[in-house]
Amino acid sequence: MPDMVTTDVSPKTALVAALGRRSIVLVGMMGAGKSSVGRRLAVRLDIPFVDADTQIEEAAHMTIPDIFERFGEGEFRALERRVIARRLDHGPQVLATGGGAFINPDTRTAISRNGISLWLNADLDVLLRRVKRRSDRPLLKTDDPGETLRRLMEERYPVYAEADIIIHSRDVPHDKIVDEIVASLCGHLGVTAPARAPQAERSP
């Protein structure tokens, strides 16, 4: 009778190996959960987490609202494009990007060369509830942030839809979203190894 052995290839190990030096790049609207889900995904896969907005602030030595105020959105977008292009050389990692980043065609091309794009797609009511918790988003300093979000969604969703993977972000525990992301990544990368799957070993 053949001995039963277990493979030592967990989905995490197989997935990170299949990723190689590519980054998992989270895209989507403000409030979609890119940073909070991204952080947990990175812990799950045991790879670094990087927030592009934080990198931009470090590069500029000022906050995003200050960049918008002093230099305008155009300069912010130029810096965002450069910072993300540079950062994509450092995979494997989970890279959370600001809501407008994927709209830039050069950034989309750079991501498709060096990463796997993953759109966290959320409904307007979920986004609105979440963005109300913070007041530091320059684009939402309008008389009607709900209407602004709705308009941005209309413009951006067809572009986000070009992402390699689409996950519905909603008000469920973050770990559930991470489970769904890992399953989709496994599918996308052709990784099927189940955790410590039993395997029959033939006797010589």
The residues that touch ligand S3P, with contacts defined as CB under 6 A, are: 30, 34, 53, 64, 98-100, 137-139
Using the minimum distance from each CB to ligand S3P, give the nearer residue, 47 or 53: 53
Residue with CB nearest ligand S3P? 98
Least distance from ligand S3P to the Cβ atom of residue 180, Å: 20
Least distance from ligand S3P to the Cβ atom of residue 7, Å: 38
- Round to whole Å and give the CA distance between 5 and 126: 46
Using the minimum distance from each CB to ligand S3P, give the nearer residue, 15 or 160: 160
Least distance from ligand S3P to the Cβ atom of residue 69, Å: 12
DSSP secondary structure, the chain, as one string: -PEEEE----HHHHHHHHHTT-EEEEE--TTS-HHHHHHHHHHHHT--EEEHHHHHHHHHTS-HHHHHHHHHHHHHHHHHHHHHHHHGGG-SEEEE--TTGGGSHHHHHHHHHHEEEEEEE--HHHHHHHHTT----GGG-SS-HHHHHHHHHHHHHHHHTTSSEEEE--SS-HHHHHHHHHHHHHHHHT----TT-EEEE---
Using the minimum distance from each CB to ligand S3P, give the nearer residue, 30 or 185: 30
Torsions phi, psi of 94, nearest 5?
Answer: -100, 120
Using the minimum distance from each CB to ligand S3P, give the nearer residue, 92 or 99: 99
Least distance from ligand S3P to the Cβ atom of residue 38, Å: 10
Using the minimum distance from each CB to ligand S3P, give the nearer residue, 18 or 159: 159
Least distance from ligand S3P to the Cβ atom of residue 152, Å: 7
Using the minimum distance from each CB to ligand S3P, give the nearer residue, 14 or 80: 80
Least distance from ligand S3P to the Cβ atom of residue 146, Å: 15
Do residues 84 and 101 lie in contact, with contact meaning Cβ atoms separated by under 8 Å? yes
